[in-house]
Structure 1
Amino acid sequence: MYIQRRNNVTIVGPADGPVVVLAHGFGCDQNMWRLTVPALARRYRVVLFDYVGSGGSDLSAWSEERYSSLDGYARDAVAVCEELRLRQAVFVGHSVSAMVGVLAAQAAPERIGALVMVGPSPRYIDDGDYRGGFSAQDIDELLASLESNYLGWSSAMAPVIMGNPDRPELGRELTNSFCATDPDIARVFARTTFLSDSREDLKSVSVPTLILECSQDVIAPREVGAFVHAAIPSSRLVTLDATGHCPQLSAPQATAEAISDFVARLS
């Protein structure tokens, strides 16, 4: 039960249904999935959790050493799956958690049998012919701004990340989520996220994989979705009619339907 308390685990849906694990991205917590959960929980056993340092997790368990690499977050995900004795679960990772899912599936293939990547990016910084969407200078400036004034950065960046300027309440929600995160923890998570390079890890993915991208996303542009799709054999790429980086909030029905359709194809 320790891991369930440490990672604030929530479980909903039928006990005998296929298991879907929902993992949040940087600056967020499991609450970001709340609009997709009702539709998924009608058919699946849905497991939600917060990474240590986020949401309702046990902040005393956080350490900079562990969470300065994506491996630390993957260890959280695997620990949740192990404590719940999950087998062949579908791991749904939003944003940076898409790459966390890749690492978790490598570490515990008996626990994770399929991946859903929502807005994935294996590398945010452009590199030669690879288009991640940001220059090295862009990321340096982003991190410098975040580290000097986290609350100000959150207020400015969250609406940009969310997109949908005609729905400002979505931007406010993401801003509030960012601002609720401890700034020191957020700084470490941000560096871990935006400086990561998981392109080589994509080659190891052998489980069924769904890539969900939005038609417009400043954080994970469509060139990145195409790269991930090409790097993972037999993966499926679906472009949602949605804008921004958080379709589970901006287009929850379409997101839930795409996940459900993928899970149904597995059986």
Structure 2
Amino acid sequence: MDIDRRNNVTIVGNPQGPTVVLAHGFGCDQNMWRLTVPALAEEYRVVLFDYVGSGRSDLGAFSADRYSSLDGYAQDVTEICEALDLRDAVFVGHSVSAMIGVLAAGLAPERIGALVMVAPSPRYIDDDGYRGGFTADDIDELLASLESNYLGWSTAMAPVIMGNPDRPELGEELANSFCATDPDMARVFARTTFLSDSRDDLKTVSVPTLVLECTQDAIAPREVGAYVHRAIPGATLVTLDATGHCPHLSAPEATNQAITAFLAGLR
């Protein structure tokens, strides 16, 4: 299989530098990292890709069975790393991709040497002693709305996810990204994302890890960032002066500064 074509792999930056892999979240594509790439490209080799069903990936490679679990997406990540023969790459994952990165690091520890988790959530549904930000009924309603009218759901939810109501163009961009995603494939990814529970996987992380949270985030509240920080031995938690669930778009300078400072500490 042509992994580069399947996942629309793009490589930019310094070919001699350490490798950083940027992984987008649900309903997005690699273009969402366009404000981060310039901050990395001079010193680092930057690998970007689209998950199957997103962006300019090969839609013919989509399998509902494979992608009904985060393990399927993690397998794609490891196959990309193997195809490029990456060693000790830094995996930067936004939202659900943070957990996909955790799984990929477990599958191929020689390929991923550090993790940056941007607005991560190991579980979105509240549980005993755990606040994920949503009740089970909330998620059922969210998925029912998404499955019955994906375009309507995208238009309504994107501004909530993005936050920053004083900058409506950000919510519009996210809505456009959602709407550009194949609805049937998005429905599978949404169920996989919002019904996932990766809390036990956090304990398996043994690589340097940076956790980035926002001061206000409707999808991953501060309690989630604190939980992830406690669960991963030696992890660093940084609270960005940012609101919403996509700080790499709404607060790129703060996000890039935190990422580059972490990367510098690894060298």
TM over 0.5: yes
- 2:144 maps to amino acid: A
Q: TM-score, normalised by structure 1?
A: 0.99
Residue deviations 1:36-77 (CA, integer Å, cap 9, x gap): 111111211110000111100000000100000000100111
Separation in 2, partners of 1:158, 1:251: 17
**Aligned equivalent of 2:15:** 15
Separation in 1, partners of 2:111, 2:253: 27
- 1:147 maps to amino acid: E
- 1:145 maps to amino acid: S
**Aligned equivalent of 1:226:** 226
Separation in 2, partners of 1:39, 1:98: 20
- 1:262 maps to amino acid: F
Q: Secondary structure at the match of 1:132?
A: coil
Q: Secondary structure at the match of 1:239?
A: strand
Q: TM-score, normalised by structure 2?
A: 0.99
Separation in 1, partners of 2:39, 2:264: 14
Matched, 1:206 2:206: yes
Structural RMSD (CA): 0.7
Separation in 2, partners of 1:48, 1:257: 19
- 1:167 maps to amino acid: R
Structure 1 position 253, deviation (Å): 1.4
Separation in 2, partners of 1:172, 1:259: 26
**Aligned equivalent of 1:4:** 4
- 1:184 maps to amino acid: D
**Aligned equivalent of 1:91:** 91
**Aligned equivalent of 2:174:** 174
**Aligned equivalent of 2:102:** 102
- The runs of at least 4 consecutive aligned structure 1 residues that moved more than 4 Å come to none
- 1:24 maps to amino acid: H
Separation in 2, partners of 1:82, 1:247: 29
Structure 1 position 187, deviation (Å): 0.5
Residue deviations 1:86-141 (CA, integer Å, cap 9, x gap): 00000000000000000000000000000000000000000011000000000000
Aligned ranges 1:57-136 → 2 under 5 Å? 57-136=57-136
Residue deviations 1:177-229 (CA, integer Å, cap 9, x gap): 00000110010000000000000000100000000001110100000000000
Structure 1 position 264, deviation (Å): 0.7
Structure 1 position 31, deviation (Å): 0.6
Matched, 1:152 2:152: yes
**Aligned equivalent of 2:42:** 42
Q: Secondary structure at the match of 2:113?
A: strand
Separation in 2, partners of 1:62, 1:112: 25
Count of residue pairs brought into register by the alignment: 267
- 1:181 maps to amino acid: T
Structure 1 position 233, deviation (Å): 0.6
Structure 1 position 257, deviation (Å): 1.2
Separation in 1, partners of 2:255, 2:43: 15
- 2:77 maps to amino acid: A
Separation in 2, partners of 1:262, 1:79: 26
Matched, 1:24 2:24: yes
Structure 1 position 235, deviation (Å): 0.2
Structure 1 position 142, deviation (Å): 0.2
